[in-house]
Structure 1
Amino acid sequence: MADEIKPAAQQQVQIPVDVSNRETVYANFVQAHLNADEVYLELGQFSQVVTPTGPDPIVLSHRVIMNFVTAKRLADLLRRAVSQHEQMFGVVEVDPNRRLRVQQPPV
């Protein structure tokens, strides 16, 4: 009779996180590029200033490259964070035309 194989008990491992070299950046613009293995996020700032010669350029300052497992975890985290924010403060409107409309208070 063969020995029964039982899965090993799962152990919880705590991995230290080093934040000593962390940078903080502000981004109000993102582009995503994909290939079969990775997601590339280009982050930057758009001043939204329009001059007579045209709009100021968008300045891309950071690129984040991640695998699809990490991308899915990030998407889930962001979805939950936005949902929680909307529950507290109302819907976040992504359409700039709708965002700029002045909301009339209910009568």
Structure 2
Amino acid sequence: MAEGTPEQTHPQVNVDDAGLQPMYTNFCRVTGTPEEIILDFGLNTEPFGKSSGPIRLGQRMVCNFYTAKRLLMALSVAVQRHEQTFGPLETDVNKRVKQPPAGGGAPAGS
């Protein structure tokens, strides 16, 4: 170790997840104040077109910007690892939709 460089240690954090309730989300709205960032999560049942109604939000996370930055770094590492293993993630839904072949019929020989 170089002289004058403090050794960085990451203490073990004891976590109690006994009351944890999982939630699925495919929508996130980000707002904030000068002191906090606010993340609202919900389920968008119409991801391909105009929604028939408002997106119902189910959970809100409020944290300070220091915690938000740590979350950003942790999510970035997780996504990078996923893409290294499984390939790039395309976030534009329209680019991921497979169009039916011209003619729309079944393949020959079916």
Out of 47, 58, 77, the position equivalent to 2:74 is 77
CA distance in 2, matches of 1:17, 1:89: 29
Structure 1, unpaired ranges of 5+? 1-9, 103-107
Aligned residues: CA RMSD: 2.6
Q: Percent identity?
A: 37
What residue number does 1:17 align with? 15
Runs (4+) off by over 4 Å: 10-15
Q: TM-score, normalised by structure 1?
A: 0.72
Which runs of 5 or more residues in structure 2 are unaligned? 1-7, 100-110
Q: Does 1:61 pair with 2:58?
A: yes
TM-score of the superposed pair, with normalisation by structure 2: 0.71
Q: How many residues align?
A: 91
- 8 Å CA contact 1:45, 1:59 repeated in 2: yes
Distance (whole Å) between structure 2 residues aligned to residue 22 and residue 101 of structure 1: 37
Deviation at 1:49, TM superposition (A): 7.2
Task: Identify which range, 13-22 or 75-84, moves more after superposition.
Answer: 13-22
| Partner in structure 1 of residue 36 of structure 2 | 38
